[in-house]
Amino acid sequence: MLGAMARKTANDDPLAPVTVAVGQEDLLLDRAVREVVAAARAADPDTDVRDLTPDQLQPGTLAELTSPSLFAERKVVVVRGAQDLSADTVKDVKAYLGSPAEEITLVLLHAGGAKGKGLLDAARKAGAREVACPKMTKPADRLAFVRGEFRTAGRSATPEACQALCDAIGSDLRELASAVTQLVADIEGTIDEAVVGRYYTGRAEASSFTVADRAVEGRTAEALEALRWSLATGVAPVMITSVLAQGVRAIGKLSSARGGRPADLARELGMPPWKIDRVRQQMRGWTPDGVSVAMRAVAEADAGVKGGGDDPEYALEKAVVVIARAARSRGRG
């Protein structure tokens, strides 16, 4: 199974004569190839696999690779970067699509853009099996991917754990998949946010979020400890100011929004529902004045770390203290 985001057409037999894997997400493209190869080798352990780049597939090469052999061996022919094939080679491939050879499985990897679209259209028209391998630019897509990875592994992970993993690892799908594999191998039972924190809190993004979370919760000592740890492990100060700004902005957005269900607020404010719940808990001590003071402190820290001051570390510490104090402004007012 390719995970939640690699959608397939109704013709879902990996041994279909032609598969086109469309998109620019390398991990999903590689999985699409692996799935076909695994199915072919399950049917015939001696399957011959040819993995070719566009420059290796010259006019006439496909005909050689797909011509009947004395031994009628099963073969998988993988063509990467099919959008970059020469015009003459595209003619060969289009002709082949009209009468694919038995015992041969052709896999075309295509970026899916305008370049080489004629070949992609021809493959679709010929009824090729299609696997969508889109680049996951949206956080929601990566979150769905992580959930799908846990589901595929037959394991349960809380929504907070999936989100924490995305926050910690960032946008690299291979690293996200690898992290899920690691957690599934090491942890028994449900995987929760605390487990993810133990494993990945050393990651740059994760440690920045820890600084921001503790600061907007008014926990000064813990926020400063997380800040020093982040800086000591090489997190860029500019990343920390960015995440502090996100944390304070989220408080401001939610405190000025009308009440409502998390799902409605999530749509209105452009935040995932789980974050609405978390920010609601964090905003208890805040006042509108507190938000203004905190945003000013973040702006000053941002100027400090981008060259306006001599000591970025001091600028960040000052901001964290001001934010944590602002988080308790309701109690003092």
User: Please, how many CA atoms are within 13 Å of residue 1, restricted to the half-sphere of its CB?
Assistant: 11
pLDDT at residue number 9? 46
Read off the pLDDT of each residue in 321-329 and give the average, rounded to a whole number: 92
Q: Rounded to whole angstroms, how far apart are CA atoms 316 and 300?
A: 9
On the question of pLDDT at 300 being above 70, the answer is yes
On the question of pLDDT at 116 being above 60, the answer is yes
Read off the pLDDT of each residue in 98-120 and give the average, rounded to a whole number: 92
Q: Rounded to whole angstroms, how far apart are CA atoms 4 and 151?
A: 9
The three-state DSSP-derived secondary structure of 163-213 is HHHHHHHCCCHHHHHHHHHHHHHHCCCCECHHHHHHHHCCCHHHHHHHHHH
pLDDT at residue number 88? 93
Structure tokens at 135: 């680049």
Query: 191 has which bridge partners?
Result: 157
Strands 104-110 and 48-52: what pairing? unpaired
On the question of pLDDT at 10 being above 50, the answer is no
Binned at pLDDT 50, 70 and 90, residue 5 comes out as very low
pLDDT at residue number 82? 94
pLDDT at residue number 220? 94
Structure tokens at 62: 């496909």
Domains of the chain: 18-133 (3.40.50.300), 139-200 (1.10.8), 208-327 (1.20.272.10)
On the question of pLDDT at 202 being above 60, the answer is no
Structure tokens at 228: 């020093």
On the question of pLDDT at 26 being above 80, the answer is yes
Q: Rounded to whole angstroms, how far apart are CA atoms 179 and 216?
A: 28
Q: Return the closest-CA partner of residue 53 out of 28, 34, 78, 73.
A: 78
Q: Rounded to whole angstroms, how far apart are CA atoms 329 and 333?
A: 6
On the question of pLDDT at 182 being above 80, the answer is yes
For residue range 35-92, what is the model confidence (pLDDT) as tens digits?
A: 999 999 999 998 989 999 888 888 888 888 888 765 667 899 999 999 999 999 999 9
Of the ranges 120-124, 208-212, 252-256, 312-316, the best mean pLDDT one? 120-124
What string of DSSP letters covers 114-175? STTHHHHHHHHHTT-EEEE-----SHHHHHHHHHHHHHHTT--B-HHHHHHHHHHH-S-HHH
Mean pLDDT of all residues in the chain? 85
Cβ atoms of residues 237 and 211 within 8 Å: no
Helix (H) or strand (E) holding 305: none
